[in-house]
């Protein structure tokens, strides 16, 4: 690192080479024109060669200056990106969790105050997205993912199974009253696949035609509440509303979801207090949720 020139001189040189003017560079860096000129002379003296050809007040890059400017611009961008990434990484008193919007809203948020009551030292940040966060580069401590549990370079622990159910708003006058009426109903499509439900309901390989399709289950559920149709939902999202009577279960059919939820993290988190505290809490909460869903499913089977 002994061959590094002053950073201020490099910033001044990059700005002048990019903007083509000492005046514009001074304005961009919020310094005086003379300060920029001084930094340019400092850098040229350090390198022992001219970077600009001066024609009156006009500066033109020399061939050496042009090549150097390209390399310095890349290097400064790398420094800026490394600084941004480092500043964005979660702090010791922050817990940043990446998860699906639907899981965050319907399952995690109602339970999260319990975690914060036990561990008030953490400020919890939720990063809700329909796409998987890259745990290697994203400013994330942990993720709650739905899938197979196998992701390259990522550790995962099984968290929660789920089920698929068809639901309607309990006060929707047009809701189907029996399985046989479902194919004629207004159906709101989502990313969930109907094949296992159709088979369990005795509809064979029937595939619904959707009156509306949404890629976010939160929107699907809101549309169901607004009497815009029925939808195939995860039980983790609708269990409380089914129990309260705000939603009706259509057809008394419950089938296991083909995927499950996982707690995922990078190996660098092993042994950390964050991983220990959150995993201990959420695994206990998930076990309670599993029990509640199992009891509900047994009640549905008993009622058929």
What CATH number has the domain bearing residue 200?
3.40.190.10
Residue range(s) defining the domain that contains residue 83? 7-88
| Residue 246, CB-side half-sphere exposure with 13 Å CA sphere | 11
User: Which of these, 51, 8, 42, lies nearest to 26 by C-alpha position?
Assistant: 8
Are 293 and 164 spatial neighbours (Cβ–Cβ below 8 Å)? no
What pTM does this model have? Answer: 0.72
Do residue 177 and residue 292 come from a single domain? Answer: no
Do residue 238 and residue 222 come from a single domain? Answer: yes
Encode pLDDT of 234-275 as tens digits. 999 999 999 999 999 998 999 999 999 999 999 999 999 999
Give 169's strand partners: 247
Per-residue pLDDT, 78: 81
Angle at 217 between CA 213 and CA 221, to 5 degrees: 90
Domain boundary among 88, 120, 151: 88
Encode pLDDT of 149-192 as tens digits. 999 999 999 999 999 999 999 999 999 989 999 999 999 999 99
What is the crossing angle of helices 109-118 and 273-303, to 10°? 140
Do residue 184 and residue 293 come from a single domain? Answer: no
User: Which of these, 10, 6, 9, 3, lies nearest to 75 by C-alpha position?
Assistant: 10
Give 168's strand partners: 248
Handedness of CA 12, 13, 18, 19 (dihedral sign): positive
């Amino acid at each position: 690192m002994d061959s590094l020139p002053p950073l201020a001189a490099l910033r001044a040189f990059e700005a002048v080479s990019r903007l083509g003017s000492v005046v514009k560079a001074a304005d961009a860096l919020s310094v005086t024109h003379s300060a920029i000129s001084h930094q340019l002379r400092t850098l040229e003296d350090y390198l022992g060669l001219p970077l600009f050809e001066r024609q009156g007040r006009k500066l033109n890059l020399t061939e050496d200056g042009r090549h150097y400017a390209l390399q310095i611009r890349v290097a400064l961008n790398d420094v800026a990106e490394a600084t941004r990434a480092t500043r964005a990484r979660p702090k010791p008193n922050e817990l940043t969790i990446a998860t699906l919007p639907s899981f965050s809203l319907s399952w995690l948020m109602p339970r999260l105050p319990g975690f914060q009551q036990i561990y008030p030292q953490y400020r919890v940040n939720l990063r809700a997205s329909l796409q998987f966060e890259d745990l290697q580069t994203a400013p994330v401590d942990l993720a709650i993912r739905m899938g197979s549990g196998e992701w390259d370079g990522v550790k995962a622990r099984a968290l929660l199974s789920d089920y698929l159910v068809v639901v309607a708003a309990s006060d929707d006058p047009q809701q189907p009253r029996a399985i046989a009426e479902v194919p004629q109903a207004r159906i709101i499509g989502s990313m969930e696949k109907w094949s296992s439900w159709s088979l369990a309901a005795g509809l064979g390989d029937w595939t619904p035609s959707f009156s509306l399709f949404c890629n976010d289950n939160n929107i699907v559920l809101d549309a169901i509440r607004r009497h815009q149709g029925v939808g195939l939902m995860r039980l983790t999202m609708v269990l409380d509303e089914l129990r309260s009577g705000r939603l009706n279960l259509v057809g008394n059919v419950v089938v296991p979801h083909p995927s499950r939820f996982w707690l995922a993290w990078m190996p660098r988190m092993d042994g950390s207090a964050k991983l220990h505290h959150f995993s201990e809490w959420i695994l206990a909460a998930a076990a309670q949720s599993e029990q509640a869903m199992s009891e509900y499913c047994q009640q549905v089977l008993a009622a058929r």
